[in-house]
Amino acid sequence: MHNHILSIILFTPLVGALLLIFVPKEKKDAIRWIANIFALAGLLVSIPLVPWFWAQRFESGFMFMEGTPNNWIPSIGAGYVLGIDGISFLLIMLTTLLGWISILSSWTAIENRVKEYYIWFLVLQTGMLGVFMALDFFLFFVFWEAMLVPMYLLIGIWGGPRKLYAAIKFFLYTLLGSVLMLLSVLFLYFYNFHQTGQYTFSIQALYKTAPLIFHDPAYGSTFAILLFLAFFLAFAIKVPMFPFHTWLPDAHVEAPTAGSVILAGVLLKMGTYGFVRFALPFFPDVVMHPKVRGWMIFLSIVGIIYGALVSLMQKDMKKLVAYSSVSHLGFCTLGIFALNAAGLSGSVLQQINHGISTGALFLIVGILYERRHTREISEYGGISNIMPVYATITMIMFLSSMGLPLLNGFVGEFTILQGTFMENWKWAAWAVPGVILAAAYLLWLYQRVFFGTVTNPKNEKLHDLTPRELLTFAPLVIIAFWIGLYPKPFFQILEQPVNQIVYTVRGKDYPGVQAVNASIRPRDEAGNAAAVQTALNQAALNQAKGTK
Amino acid sequence: MFFLDHIWLIPLLPALGAAIMFFFGRKLQKATVSAVCVGAVAMAFVFACFAVWQYTGYAHDNPGKPFEKIAYTWMGTDTDHMNYVKRDGTLAPCHADAGFLLDPLSAIWLLFVTGVGTLIHIYSTGYMAHEGGYYRFFGYLNLFMFSMLTLILGNNYVLMFVGWEGVGLCSYLLIGFYFHRQSATTAANKAFIVNRIGDAGFLLGMFTIAWYFGSLRLTEITHMARSGHFAIGDPIITAATLLLFVGACGKSAQLPLYVWLPDAMEGPTPVSALIHAATMVTAGVYMVARSNALFVLAPGSMKTMAFIGAFTALFAASIALVQNDIKRVLAYSTVSQLGYMFLALGVGAFAAGAFHVFTHAFFKALLFLGAGSVIHAMSGEQDMRNMGDLHRRIPITHWTMFIATFAIAGIPPFAGFFSKDEILWQAWSSEGGAYRLLWLVGYGTALMTAFYMFRLMFLTFHGQARMSHEVEPHIHESPKSMTVPLIVLAICAVSAGWLGWPHSLGGSNRFEKFLEPVFAREAEVFQAEGKAAQLAAGRKEEEHTNPMEYFLMAFSIAAAVSGFGMAWKAYRDAGKGYEEPIAAATPQVYAVLLNKYYVDEAYDYAFTGRRKVKGVRLGVMGLGDASSWFDSHVIDGIVNGWGRTTRLFGTFSSWWDKWIIDGLLVNGPAILSRMLSYPLRLLQWGLVQWYALVMVIGLVGFVFYYAVR
């Protein structure tokens, strides 16, 4: 169990999807029950991971490893290798939780083609989990691309009026990025062969050779920057960073509620995860290149401000929330490219926070949409008179999203901004207006939808949250308060992997690295001076013991 | 030491009250709601009294040492590996505890916040008795108490910021309490967003401090700042303190961020008393006083603060001269008094600033609660033009409010006299008189204050009755739950100032002495740094016996009395359609003042974009419109254009494929060969009989050939 926990988590949803194939499509309630049971099972099987991981949170490197490199398709060097560190652990827990919540929230929202809907949703779940677990680039790429298809279908079949446009835009845009990334990886793959004489897609192997390209006279820094840009494009589209974000509002507006929740909650995190897992360790010198880093920060800041400004003027609630995602994800990428422990920890935590808060915001919009079939802000007003419980939960999640202290958003934003400020105060100063604008667009939205008197007669008979709907919000609200009140466990989980990345990127000259060196056991033995240093120290220590 | 060790219970008690209201409030009786919420705050008050009492014992054993209690690590990890490189190239952790700090400064705030808070809670049980959403109101009030107490007791800037934003949230919720009214919810949004602008400054100030000092813990920063390693006028400390002051401007309604406070009067009156007069708005003063060790090192920030404070005081007082809404007068009065406090802080008289906060809390809460009582009696009427001659009908409200008016006008021996006079004296005497202009501004403000306050009193309680006939029969004195808090506050408004009875009048100024450990170390810094520093801080204890001080004292009493006299002359007999003296003298000035210098309008044109300039939206909303246009036309235009180009290319390719590749190159030769093969095809036209005939003919021919041969 302990050794195969990742595979179990990964394939539980897929088993559910396979089972659903054999259920006749007329039995809608049976299908719903089975899908919900498997979604819940997917969450439940991931829960043992929490205590197990917690016990090892100060260990460095990947844990719960499964498979060996090249064991899947030995001839090309592809392997079924899974493993997680603190970053992927948190994202996996987020995925299993949001997966269950989204499937639960679809019970009444989806009425036609129920069977296919749930099958695709469960397949999507496996695809997303695979992305966060894979330690082999081939395997990663399979999941990365595989998860596009179900999402495409979810938008294209169960979406709104412009669903085809949105689905195709989403699919093509994302595909465009990943193709270039594939090219770049193929280069890394052959470069690795050139260096080690071995064909492998193992990420840990590529970690060792990819950073060398920058200094390799045969290719040089410009070439390494180009390789990085290919990765950047793939991830920047996924995040999405300004100016690659326009697929997002369309996809969100057209997607069914549950699709939006997953899209915002998890799919976008694949982009930021990609930066953290691949782009930074593969190209440390490129990332530290002042021009490259400057552009990354610039795009992040533009995303924060611009996303918020566009969000402010939206007339469609869902579009407003979608643009707010652009702004929030700007904070995440800002934290990543701050490239210190504070910024990176804050960024990963903010990714979780965004999943919680924005996931909830899409559920919130979905609840009104399901009742009234419109998302126009002007159609509403005075809703808190009719749906007080709903209004309260909305207020809490809005506050969480705008970063009010003691709720989750603040902890992430504060840490990111603090980390960024320490690198360059101007970056933080430019990003801070995003915090003000977030309050403006969310409170204004709240005022227009919830406050005032009910002016539209169609809104007079709306019913408040059902117990099922309340159940979908409960875990999100609880986690929002948990992270806000006691984020230490999260920071502890992130301490090792984040410092490892900072260490890889900034090298041994960075004082932050020196201080934490003692606690880090480097992920790989080759090429890392500090690892050698530690080994030497260890050897000296042993020798000293021996002589005694 | 039970109460000190469990000091975290003080904010937690009202938090529990709020939680109970959140989960069960809807089902509870009004009596239960009152019992829980008032009880929670009253318990917090009792707890606070005991804690302060124990603290005095603790301070006796550890002179000058603040008490700190850390509950748990809140932000960051215990290992401090979540770090960053600070300015000097060494490492600092990203760290903040859920820790609590009690020293004389927080003790004073703690006592008057819980004390006044309890009274206002009791008052609210009467004031809100007939309102809907009773549990919601008390839940918010308790949540506010929790936030305010967190702000006061936090031992680091981040936790202080938690309370800081928390009180902002509660203010938002309570201003928008009557959420059916568009004006109320707009005012609520305005309050939150303007406060957020200040908060952004606070955040950046915090980061600057963390970058420079590597810590956000108040005691550590104070210790480092006083260590003598930092020069006076250090540019980074100046930047940090200016940024903190931006935060204070937002929360404490100073120019140019004061605009939210007058609008905040949309909330129920007890809220105005508690949040927008007595407690929350003084948070900025508290934060600056807390950071006194930093501000002392930044004379530039001090000067800025003194000037902004003084001019806010004058500016707001001048608006208050002509307002007709009783709560609005009080709101501008609050802005003006807060200006005084910042003037005090700016000239280095931290204790005097804190003292004015303390006395102001009582008399301004009393004024607002009194105004609430008037509004209650008048069935919701707030316009003073429709009041008059109420003094016989609501005598308790009348007398208690008069006491508060004497206090705010600065008439001895009421509370306001001592604190205001201390500020004016400090402004006069600091920096060898460099701030005398500010003294003049403060003096002018004192004159205006006396005038507009007595104007308010005469218009409300004296003159002729101007209310409508429907309202008049219903006028009644408020219930005990409302009048008792008024009386208690009135007693405080008389006597609170005696705690700071100055040396010059034979007192001992216990208030300042109590605060000495918080501010005292400055003196040492000044001695070390020489005369310049001393001037910057402007603390000249030895001059307290200056005959000038007696002269100024008499002078400011004269101002109060003449303000009274002018108001008496103008409004004593105010009947229907009474004349405003300012309007009579200079109607243009009157119009400008009545419209509050048109600042709201200017902001709406320039910053928010809620009003259009010649049909063009400027400000943030203008930017938002421009960005939206850019997004859908340019960025998405490029994306869609790319798509369309690809499709066009695809269409062309498909045409090319069909007509050129397939048509010309593939099918072309085929057609050609077909044409060429047409003659041959004639032989093969698929008629079996024909084939048979040919076959027979062939066969016959064949046979014939061989036969013939």
Interchain CB contact of A478 with B (< 8 Å): no
Cβ-Cβ contacts under 8 Å between A and B: the total is: 180
Distance from CA of B414 to the nearest CA of A (A): 40
Q: Rounded CA gap, B315 and B262, in Å? A: 13
In this predicted model, what pLDDT tens digit does every residue of B410-452 receive, in sequence order?
A: 888 888 888 888 888 888 887 666 678 888 899 999 999 999 9
Interchain CB contact of B27 with A (< 8 Å): no
Structure-block tokens of residue A401: 């999203």
Q: Which residues of B touch A410 (CB under 8 A)?
A: 165
Q: Rounded CA gap, B674 and B672, in Å? A: 5
Of B169, B192, B200, the CB nearest to A433: B200
Interchain CB contact of B540 with A (< 8 Å): no
Q: Which residue has the higher pLDDT, B610 or A414?
A: A414
Residues 234 through 253 of chain B touching chain A, CB cutoff 8 Å: none
Considering only alpha carbons, which residue of chain A is nearest residue B172? Answer: A443
Mutate which: B12, B148, B196, vs A, most A CBs within 10 A: B196
Integer angstrom CA distances of residue B387 from B380, B384, B668: 11, 5, 101
Integer angstrom CA distances of residue B335 from A287, A321, A372, B338, B386: 50, 37, 45, 5, 25
pTM above 0.95, yes or no: no
Interchain CB contact of B589 with A (< 8 Å): no
Considering only alpha carbons, which residue of chain A is nearest residue B196? Answer: A436
CA B404 to chain centre: 25
Of B185, B635, B639, the CB nearest to A451: B185
Interchain contact, A345 vs B72, CB within 8 Å:
no
Interchain CB contact of B645 with A (< 8 Å): no
Interchain contact, A451 vs B193, CB within 8 Å:
no
Integer angstrom CA distances of residue B683 from B200, B677, B678, B691, B700: 94, 10, 9, 9, 19
Average pLDDT over residues B317-323: 92
Query: What pLDDT is recorded for position A529?
Result: 38
Residues 94 through 113 of chain B touching chain A, CB cutoff 8 Å: 94
Of A246, A421, A499, the CB nearest to B636: A246
Beta carbons of B299 and B526 less than 8 angstroms apart: no
Average pLDDT over residues A384-394: 92
- Give which of B152, B187, B158 is closest to B173, Cα–Cα: B187
Interchain CB contact of B185 with A (< 8 Å): yes
In this predicted model, what pLDDT tens digit does every residue of A22-74 receive, in sequence order?
A: 999 888 899 999 999 999 999 999 999 999 999 888 888 888 988 888 889 98
In this predicted model, what pLDDT tens digit does every residue of B625-660 receive, in sequence order?
A: 999 999 999 999 998 998 899 899 999 999 998 888
Query: What pLDDT is recorded for position B431?
Result: 66
Average pLDDT over residues B489-516: 83
- Give which of B272, B133, B260 is closest to B186, Cα–Cα: B260
Beta carbons of B291 and B241 less than 8 angstroms apart: yes
Residues 292 through 311 of chain A touching chain B, CB cutoff 8 Å: 306, 309-310
Q: Which residues of A touch B94 (CB under 8 A)?
A: 341-342, 345, 415, 418-419
- B540 has a pLDDT exceeding 50: no
Interchain contact, B179 vs A499, CB within 8 Å:
no
Interchain contact, A169 vs B631, CB within 8 Å:
no
In this predicted model, what pLDDT tens digit does every residue of B577-615 receive, in sequence order?
A: 888 888 888 889 988 888 889 988 889 888 888 888 888
Which of these ranges, A381-395, B85-99, B357-371, B395-409, has the smallest mean pLDDT? Answer: B85-99
- A519 has a pLDDT exceeding 70: no
Of B75, B176, B193, the CB nearest to A411: B75
Interchain contact, B75 vs A313, CB within 8 Å:
no
Query: What pLDDT is recorded for position B433?
Result: 63
Interchain contact, A306 vs B627, CB within 8 Å:
yes
Q: Rounded CA gap, B324 and B459, in Å? A: 9
Which of these ranges, A38-52, A268-282, B322-336, B470-484, has the smallest mean pLDDT? Answer: B470-484
Q: Which residues of A touch B210 (CB under 8 A)?
A: 418, 421-422
What percent of chain A stands above pLDDT 70? 93
Structure-block tokens of residue B234: 């250090």
In this predicted model, what pLDDT tens digit does every residue of A227-247 receive, in sequence order?
A: 999 999 999 999 889 889 989
Q: DSSP letters along B59-93, please?
A: HHHSTTPPEEEEEEEEES-TT--SEEE-TTS-EEE
Query: What pLDDT is recorded for position A517?
Result: 52
Q: Which residues of B touch A169 (CB under 8 A)?
A: 639, 643
- A182 has a pLDDT exceeding 60: yes
Interchain CB contact of B541 with A (< 8 Å): no
Helix H or strand E encompassing B184: helix B182-213
Q: How confident is the model at residue A6 (pLDDT cuts 50, 70, 90)?
A: very high
- Give which of A402, A214, A198 is closest to A312, Cα–Cα: A402
Helix H or strand E encompassing B617: strand B616-617
Considering only alpha carbons, which residue of chain A is nearest residue B93? Answer: A342
Distance from CA of B273 to the nearest CA of A (A): 24
Residues 199 through 258 of chain A touching chain B, CB cutoff 8 Å: 243, 245-247
Q: Which residue has the higher pLDDT, B705 or A528?
A: B705
Query: What pLDDT is recorded for position A152?
Result: 93
Query: What pLDDT is recorded for position B526?
Result: 47
Beta carbons of A123 and A153 less than 8 angstroms apart: no
Structure-block tokens of residue B206: 């915090």
Interchain contact, B621 vs A492, CB within 8 Å:
no
Of A388, A443, A519, the CB nearest to B189: A443
What percent of chain B stands above pLDDT 90? 45
Q: Which residue has the higher pLDDT, B152 or B548?
A: B152
Interchain contact, A519 vs B210, CB within 8 Å:
no
- Give which of A515, A530, A336, A505 is closest to B81, Cα–Cα: A515
Other Cβ atoms less than 10 A from the Cβ of A309: the count is 27
Query: What pLDDT is recorded for position A514?
Result: 56
In this predicted model, what pLDDT tens digit does every residue of B27-55 receive, in sequence order?
A: 888 899 999 999 999 999 999 999 999 99
Q: Which residue has the higher pLDDT, B527 or B234?
A: B234
Mutate which: A165, A252, A418, vs B, most B CBs within 10 A: A418
Of B73, B76, B169, the CB nearest to A404: B169
Interchain contact, A447 vs B185, CB within 8 Å:
yes
Of A405, A444, A485, the CB nearest to B161: A405
Considering only alpha carbons, which residue of chain A is nearest residue B23? Answer: A389
Average pLDDT over residues B190-217: 93
Return the beta strands (E) in A39-194 as ranges: 63-66, 82-84
Interchain contact, B207 vs A498, CB within 8 Å:
no
Query: What pLDDT is recorded for position B531?
Result: 44
Interchain contact, B643 vs A491, CB within 8 Å:
no
Q: Which residues of A touch B631 (CB under 8 A)?
A: 246, 306, 310
Query: What pLDDT is recorded for position B198?
Result: 94
Interchain contact, B620 vs A309, CB within 8 Å:
yes
Query: What pLDDT is recorded for position B407?
Result: 92
Q: Rounded CA gap, A353 and A328, in Å? A: 10
Q: Which residues of B touch A477 (CB under 8 A)?
A: none
Interchain contact, B207 vs A492, CB within 8 Å:
no
